[in-house]
Structure 1
Amino acid sequence: MQTATVYDRVRELIVSGVYLPGRPVTEQDLSERLEVSRTPVREALRRLESDGLVRGARRGVTVVELDRKALRDAYHVRASLEGLTAELAAVRQRAGELSPAALNRLVACADRADEASKAGDLTEGIRHNRAFHRAIALLAGNPLALDLLDRVWDQIIVSTRAVLTAPEGPGRVDGEHRALIAAITAGRPEAAAESARDHIAATARAVLGPNEGEAP
């Protein structure tokens, strides 16, 4: 197994909630679970520490849980990045660079996210919701923004999984997704950016409380 694959598998164990925030994770435990030597595990943990998902502890590392301010900061960053990727996607649509198939895939992602949320499936709801936003970032054609968003998403999911005991506002979320799709499809960059930022701000308020989604 290559080091990159070990990194991806350890990251997935953390993001999926197998290793919860505050829980220590040792190289020995991971090497036994993944059936690999400790060297690639050690390298994977170093990368995950730079990603902000784990921090060094007395024995191994501990999964990071963002405090309230750090989580608020993460949502602010996510809102800015998703505003940018939505804007860029709309610019590319206006320039005729996006195919109908690409836009149809975006609609399909929104459909699956809505279906999972209405069915009360938290795990699938989170997965498809993330796939929807990631699809927009892919349409933006900016790999750096996509990479940064992946890191922010990971930190938010790990830190909020315990409080999201039920799909949060499925009707509202789906409506905001559809508005975002409409703005991108119409090639309206400013409207797409505003829709994205408003959507993330509403999500932050649902998690952190009223007024918590506003930029500082």
Structure 2
Amino acid sequence: MQTVVAQSRLRELILDGTYPPGARLTETEAAAALEMSRTPVREALRALAADGLVRPSGRGVVVVALERGDLEEAYQVRGALEALTAELAATRQREGRIAPVDLVALRDLAAETATATAEGRFADAVRLNRRFHRLIAELGGNSIALHALERIWDQIQVSTLRSLVPPSRPAHVSDQHEELVAAIVHGQAGEAARVARAHVLDTHTVARGEEE
């Protein structure tokens, strides 16, 4: 249990930039920061290394970011997986296997994300955006796809943390979210997959242009 807690807390510190790419962290330092013994921290760091967020370095680890080519591939895989989970969610909705309350939650998350973005609350928008996409993956009902997406989302977030800025086209992002919700609600599997993939690839294109 302590290992799970240590892994979760260290992951949060990496994702929020407390430990940015290039930061070196030893077991002793991490244990002190978490006020835990070194054993669960050691296991937590091993798990984070397996997820690609850190790599061993001497007596500790270094937070890693994907190189540009690897990041490009990560977005491609993310696009394929989000297309799959959106298609599965729409199919399950068409078959009557999704509770109405879950669709309401999806709509609400899309609206909350749009509001946070429009109001300039970017940290909130990033958090809500991830919850929105995660809920779609959960509604898709494929646990392997969800697990793979969680890992890719983490790697992309760490790798783009320094360059994150409010989206240059917030209305376009919100419109795509609404299109995606509508496709899922109406059980349009092919359309849901198309919108989901386009949304991910658009996000990568905009982020890449802002880095340049």
TM-score range, shorter chain: over 0.9
Corresponding residue of 1:187 = 187
How far apart, CA to CA, are the structure 1 residues paired with 2:205 and 2:161?
Answer: 15
After TM superposition, list the pairs within 5 Å mapping 1:2-13 onto structure 2.
2-13=2-13
Q: Which residue of 1 aligns with 2:171?
A: 171
CA deviation after TM superposition for structure 1 residue 56, in Å: 1.1
Deviation, 1:179, is 0.4
Contact 1:24 1:59 in 2 (8 A): no
The structure where helix makes up a greater share of residues is 2
Q: Deviations over 1:15-39 (max 9, x none)?
A: 1111001111111111001110111
Q: Is the 8 A contact 1:90 1:183 kept in 2?
A: yes
Using the TM superposition, give the Cα deviation of residue 123 of structure 1 relative to its aligned residue in structure 2, in angstroms.
Answer: 1.1
Amino acid in structure 1 at the alignment position of 2:72: R
1:80 equivalent in structure 2: 80
1:100 aligns with 2:100: yes
CA drift at 1:97: 0.7
TM-fit CA distance, 1:167: 3.6
Match of 2:69 in 1: 69
Partner of 1:31: 31
Q: Percentage identity across aligned positions?
A: 49
CA distance in 2, matches of 1:174, 1:166: 13
Letter of the 2:181 partner, please give it. Answer: I
CA distance in 1, matches of 2:150, 2:174: 21
Shift of 1:88: 0.2
Secondary structure of 1:55's aligned partner: strand
Q: Secondary structure at the match of 2:163?
A: coil
Answering whether residue 10 of structure 2 is matched by residue 17 of structure 1, we say no
Structure 2, unmatched stretches of 5+, are none
**Residue 159 of structure 1 aligns to which amino acid in structure 2?**
S
Partner of 1:198: 198
Alignment: residue pair count? 210
The Cα shift of 1:168 comes to 4.4
Q: Please give the secondary structure, in 2, of the residue aligned with 1:162.
A: helix
**What CA deviation, in whole Å up to 9, does each residue of 1:56-94 have, x standing for no partner?**
112410101111101101100100100000000000000
Take 2:63 and 2:90, find their aligned partners in 1: how far apart are those partners? 37
Q: Secondary structure at the match of 1:161?
A: helix
Root-mean-square deviation (Å):
1.2
Runs of 4+ residues deviating >6 angstroms: none
Q: Once the 2 structures are TM-superposed, how far is the Cα of residue 153 of structure 1 from its aligned partner? A: 0.3
What's the TM-score, normalizing by structure 2?
A: 0.96
Does the 8 Å CA contact 1:15/1:157 hold for their aligned counterparts?
A: yes
Partner amino acid, structure 2, of 1:34: L
Whether the 8 Å CA contact 1:87–1:192 is kept in 2: the answer is: yes
The Cα of 1:196 is off from its aligned counterpart by 0.2
Mapped pair 1:110 → 2:110? yes
Matched residue of 1:56: which SS? strand
Q: Is the 8 A contact 1:66 1:155 kept in 2?
A: yes
* Structure-2 separation of matches of 1:49 and 1:93: 37
Q: Secondary structure at the match of 2:162?
A: coil
